[in-house]
Amino acid sequence: MSRKISLTVNGAALEAVVEPRLTLVDFLRDQAGLTGTHVGCEHGVCGACSVLFDGAPIRSCLMFAVQADGHAMTTVEGLRDEDGSLGVLQDSFWETHALQCGYCTPGMLIAAEGLLSSNPDPTDAEIREAIAGNLCRCTGYVQIVEAIRLAAARRRQQPVTPMGDQG
């Protein structure tokens, strides 16, 4: 019943043997050791489990790891720059204090990354729309919107390639 899967996570090739019912988020956290992605509801509402799947933000609690066989994922751990330093987006979250407890933050960063990679100059309305599927109970979102706006502006001046996109 278990299946062998091969996938790319943050640019690195991974192989594993998984039960079909293992969700992608549980796989990433428990087998790939990437605990930055969080579990919040396990029914696809809160967005804490967001990862990039072939470059697009998805809810990793709503996918089984077997379905990810042959695909590429980026988690929050993969958002650093090529040289390992914090990406502009992450740094902007720090600058505006776009987080408090940090639990929704990886998912927010992924949603923001998904937005900025396709829309480098979003309006505030577009920013709010992009994170509408990510629940935060600490911040009230204002500082998060400011962070994403700041990151967009900084990136437009100086584009960088996130580490996870390599390979």
Q: Is 162 in the site for another protein (CB under 8 A)?
A: no
How many C-beta atoms surround the C-beta of residue 84 within 10 A? 7
Token output for 83: 């040289």
Among residues 102, 161, 166, 167, the one that binds another protein under rule CB under 8 A: 102
23 lines the binding site for another protein (CB under 8 A): yes
Closest CA to 145 of 124, 120, 117, 162: 124
By CB under 8 A, the residues from 27 to 56 that bind another protein are 29, 34-48, 50, 53, 56
Residue 102 Ramachandran class (φ > 0 left, ψ -120 to 50 alpha, else beta): left
Decide: is 95 part of the binding site for another protein (CB under 8 A).
yes
CB nearer to another protein: give 135 or 153.
Answer: 135
CB of 53 to another protein, least distance (A): 7
Q: Considering the complex, what minimum distance in angstroms separates the CB of residue 129 from another protein? A: 7
* Listed residue (134, 133, 51, 55) closest to 98, CA to CA: 134
